[in-house]
Amino acid sequence: MNEFYSVKIWLDANSRSQNWLANRLEVHKQTIHIWKKTGKIPHQSKLAICYVTGTNYEQLFGGN
């Protein structure tokens, strides 16, 4: 399962870039690139993504 897929959809739907996400999470843009490439996002980062995007965990990650 690619955990980044729904994040990418959210970014596209809201006209946001991976750089925007990196800035909001205060991580290096390479970190976002690695998440996209591997399809895996650490749990604590998933929670932070939910916070900065204003979505709930189930919407982005299907409760997994």
Residue spans of the domains in the chain: they are: 5-61
Looking at residue 1, its pLDDT comes to 77
Q: How many CA atoms lie within 13 A of 34 on its CB side?
A: 9
pLDDT in tens, 8-45: 999 999 999 999 999 999 999 999 999 999 999 999 99
Model confidence at 64, pLDDT cuts 50, 70, 90, reads low
Tally: H helices and E strands in the chain: 5, 0
Looking at residue 33, its pLDDT comes to 97
Letter for the amino acid at 51?
Answer: Y
Q: Which residue carries 């970190």 as its tokens?
A: 31
What would you measure as the largest C-alpha separation in the chain, in angstroms? 26
Residues 8, 63 contacting (CB under 8 angstroms): no
Q: What is the rounded average pLDDT of the residues 42-64? A: 92
Q: Give the global pTM.
A: 0.91
Please identify, in words, the CATH class of the domain defined by 5-61.
Answer: mainly alpha
